[in-house]
Amino acid sequence: MTTKIPKTGVSLYSYAGEFGVSMTLEDCFAEMNDLGTQGLEILANAHIQNYPNPTEEWLEEWRRLLKVYDIIPVEYGHWVDSRMIPGRELTTQESYERLIKDIKLAGKLGFTVLRTKLGVIDFDLNPVPNWREFIEMALPLAEEHGVVMCPEIHQPTELNSKMVSDYVEFIEKTGTKHFGLNIDFGIFQTAERMVVPGFDNPPSTPEEIIPFLPYTYACHAKFIHMTEDFIEPTHPYEAIIKVLKENNWGGYMLSEYEGKNKDLAGYATDQVRKHHVMMNNFLSK
């Protein structure tokens, strides 16, 4: 059995406060290249000009940038905005049609994982009740385009919850390799957790991820503050990375900065750089 270790990357969400204002897509790629990291997450409807129909000229530029800056397209963030039409939920067919556009575009851009954000129906963040139907309809197309659709497991959801068991049950029942999980490290956050009225969920422990690793195709390496000595005081990074390494998980940890001052030029880039120093430290231990 080959030994695998997690790989690193950046979700361009980290630079959201500067993207289009003080950073172009090329600046984001150049920054990643400077960090010596390759794994890229974009948000389709933010970073693709003329989404969902980019021009040939844009596609050519995309391929040039990937090559010049040595970037690997990993995760393609997209949404099924189930209430995009006021007053009703999208039908199963309409939701499926949303997926078709994104699966094809993600495949064309070279991505392998889709962070498929589903519409939710309550404060527990339970997904729309027909998710199984439209996801199942899209599985053959996902297979054809070589992508795996992954809902994001995010605070206040816990790993050991009905929602996550429902996803796993669907994967096991269908036997699919084209639907899985994106785990956001915020579920492990031990301090300054999101305040959600009615929720007092404890953080999941890093060990709790182990049974879900076979279904986990990417992780959002969520962080909210890096200190000058490369510590993230609110997330147990050393323990998380240790568990991932010990369990031979070789997917991408994509830095996702969700702290303050995102609009302040240079602040998020400084934070992401420190985050990479920390991840590299723990990966080499």
The answer to whether 100 contacts another protein (rule: CB under 8 A) is no
Whether omega for the bond prior to residue 151 falls within 30 degrees of 0, making it cis, is no
Q: Find the shortest distance in angstroms from Cβ 27 to another protein.
A: 10
- Cβ closest to another protein, residue 83 vs residue 108: 83
**9 versus 236: smaller Cβ distance to another protein:** 9
Count of residues engaged in binding another protein, rule: CB under 8 A: 35
Choose one: 13-21, 140-148, 216-224, 231-239; the region binding another protein (CB under 8 A): 13-21
> Is there binding between residue 46 and another protein (CB under 8 A)?
yes
Touching another protein, residues 210-269 (CB under 8 A): 263
Q: Is 276 one of the annotated active-site residues of the chain?
A: no
Three-class DSSP category at 211: helix
CB closer to another protein, 46 vs 137 = 46
Q: Is 97 in the site for another protein (CB under 8 A)?
A: no
Tell the smallest beta-carbon distance from residue 230 to another protein (Å).
26
End-to-end CA distance of the chain: 21
Q: Is 56 in the site for another protein (CB under 8 A)?
A: no
The DSSP-derived string for 55-101 is -HHHHHHHHHHHHHTT-EEEEEEEEE-TTSSTTSPPPHHHHHHHHHH
Q: Is 57 in the site for another protein (CB under 8 A)?
A: no
Sheet with 216-223: strands ordered across = 148-150, 113-118, 72-80, 39-43, 7-11, 252-257, 216-223, 181-184, 152-153
Q: Is 85 in the site for another protein (CB under 8 A)?
A: yes
Least Å distance between CB 57 and another protein? 12
**Tokens read off for 27:** 């600046």
User: What 3-state class would DSSP assign to 221?
Assistant: strand
Least CB distance to another protein at residue 142 (A)? 20
Distance between CA atoms of 216 and 183, rounded to whole angstroms? 7
Shortest distance, position 75 Cβ to another protein, whole Å: 14
Region 109-168 residues binding another protein, contact defined as CB under 8 A: 117-123, 125
Catalytic residue, candidates 47, 145, 154, 225: 154
Using omega within 30 degrees of 0 as the cis cutoff, is the peptide bond preceding 156 cis? yes
Return the number of the residue (56 or 122) whose C-beta is nearest another protein: 122
Query: How many CA atoms, within 13 angstroms, populate the side-chain half-sphere of residue 197?
Result: 1
106 neighbors 145 (Cβ within 8 angstroms): yes
Q: For the chain, where are the E strands, in sequence order?
A: 7-11, 39-43, 72-80, 113-118, 148-150, 152-153, 181-184, 216-223, 252-257
The distance of closest approach from Cβ of residue 216 to another protein in the complex, given in angstroms and rounded to an integer, is 20
| Adjacent-strand bridge partners of 255 | 10, 221
* Cα separation, 153 vs 160, whole angstroms: 11
> Which structure tokens are listed for 244?
């991932």
86 contributes a contact to another protein by CB under 8 A: yes
Residue 120 or 141: which CB sits closer to another protein? Answer: 120
Is residue 16 close enough to count as binding another protein by CB under 8 A? yes
Active site residue ranges: 154
Q: Which residues bind another protein (CB under 8 A)?
A: 13, 16, 19-22, 24-25, 43, 45-46, 48-52, 77, 79-87, 117-123, 125, 263
